[in-house]
Amino acid sequence: MWSFWVNVIMLLILGVLGASSVIIKKRPEAKDLIDKLSKISGYVGVVAVLWGVYDVIQLLTHLGMFKYGIWGIISWVTLLAVTAVFLGLGFIFGYGLAATYMSEEAKAKMADLRQKLVGYQIPLGWLSLGLAVWLIILTYGIMR
């Protein structure tokens, strides 16, 4: 159950960071909180990528969920979406911190990939927030 809450909390943090520009436009009072989160966004990103890799392993070990019918499929697809958000937003936010440990060639390749992903930051942020809510509904509402 602890991994469920890690997923929810990480999705909420990544969602706020990912959609921060839109959130601040609509709710200027949220700027202080978002500024505090932004200071640790590199660490959040690295943790998200590592947690995303863990979720990839979970996806592969839970392929048997398909035998449980539609709810097994919905649960597996939900975990796939969570994993994609963790890897995408995690890479966007964690790149700066991780780049300090990369060779120049690796930095250049990763910078190109990051530049492509940045265009998806806001939609991934909203998806992240939606997935956090969906996970809670799926776990405590529908599946009970």
**Mean pLDDT per segment of 10 residues, for the chain of length 144 residues?**
88 95 92 90 94 92 86 90 95 86 82 85 96 92 67
Note the pTM of the prediction, 2 decimals: 0.87
Q: Return the biggest CA–CA distance within the chain.
A: 51
HSE-CB of 62 using CA atoms within 13 angstroms: 17
E strands present in 61-101: none
Where along the chain do its domains lie? 2-142
Cα–Cα dist 2/100, whole Å: 31
Position 143 scores a pLDDT of 61
Position 48 scores a pLDDT of 96
State the Cα torsion 131-134-139-143 to the nearest 10°.
Answer: -140
Position 71 scores a pLDDT of 85
Contact 121, 95 (CB under 8 A): no
Position 51 scores a pLDDT of 94
Cα–Cα dist 143/70, whole Å: 12
Going 31 to 23 to 4 to 52, the CA torsion angle's sign is: negative
Position 111 scores a pLDDT of 84
